[in-house]
Chains A and B, each alone.
Chain A
């Protein structure tokens, strides 16, 4: 499984990468914002995108919209502190596959990956 991991916080990327490694996912490409993520997304094939919402340069929702122009099928999971109904609705309308609210547990991330990537991790 190849994962594109997008978060402006190095701490959060480290935490999520460690969770992914524990789940046996080693192929993780990191990006610090939406624009960097879009460049990496265009240059390689990924199985899933995990993205923060609030980021400088290009936020997660803008990234999601750009990705949906290129690929309607890839699972995009937004991982964010923003859990309000209006934010969730905006993400769904923009084509998000799923939503994981911070703080999250490794089990929470595993459940999302199993649901969307369709294999045991």
Chain B
């Protein structure tokens, strides 16, 4: 019999393949670059891999968070590749561009998991070295590492099952 944490880990793991597929699709179509998976591990630290985090909440039969973790260089390059604007700092335009890429990755992944009947939140962006992201205590997040032409980046994902109060 599975324990509760392993159930949640299984649920989170269900998202890994859809996220791999959607990340590749979005990066190739919108950014003309090909991400290659370079690692995958269960996350223990609350500090994201890189200094910019774009977060989207998903709620439905499962609830959780998808975080696109980017270096400053990768975030600036996303704006440049999307709209041809070179920025020197993490400004509103960079955050908007990073948020849209995250939205597309999460949306594409969600559409591969229709049985969860999930909805997406509007993306939030946090910037700063060593900022922390707290997943709920019963969630075991997974971190997927990628290499790409715009630099390395990571996607962190953690999900838990939602219980139907009517049952």
The total of interchain contacts (Cβ-Cβ below 8 angstroms) comes to: 56
Would you call B103 an interface residue if the criterion is a C-beta within 8 Å of the partner chain's C-beta atoms? yes
A80–B96 CA distance with the chains assembled, in angstroms: 16
Query: Are B111 and A82 in touch, CB under 8 angstroms?
Result: yes
Q: Report which of B79, B83, B84, B114 forms a contact with A85, defined as CB distance below 8 A.
A: B114
B120 touches A54 (CB 8 A): yes
- Interface residues on chain A, number (Cβ under 8 Å): 21
**A2-39 to B contact mask, C-beta < 8 Å, 1/0:** 00000001111011001000000000000000000000
| A56 lies within 8 A of B122 (CB) | yes
CB distance from A100 to the nearest CB of B (A): 12
Q: In the docked arrangement, what's the CA distance between A75 and B21, Å?
A: 31
Encoded as 1 (CB less than 8 Å from any B CB) or 0, chain A from 49 to 90 comes to 000001010000000000000000000000011111110000
Known: A56-B122, A81-B106, A82-B111. A11 touches B29 (CB 8 A): no
Number of interface residues of B (CB under 8 A): 24
Set of chain B residues within 8 Å of A85, measured between Cβ atoms? 114
| B contact residues around A104 at 8 Å (CB) | 29
| Complex partner residue of B108 from A10, A12, A18, A83, CB under 8 angstroms | A83
Q: List chain B positions with a Cβ less than 8 A from chain A.
A: 25-26, 29-30, 79, 82-84, 93, 96-97, 99-100, 103-104, 106-108, 110-111, 114, 117, 120, 122
Given contacts A10-B93, A102-B104, 19 further A-B contacts (CB under 8 A): A9-B100, A10-B96, A11-B96, A14-B83, A15-B82, A54-B120, A81-B103, A81-B104, A81-B107, A83-B107, A84-B110, A86-B117, A102-B103, A102-B107, A103-B29, A103-B30, A103-B104, A103-B108, A105-B29
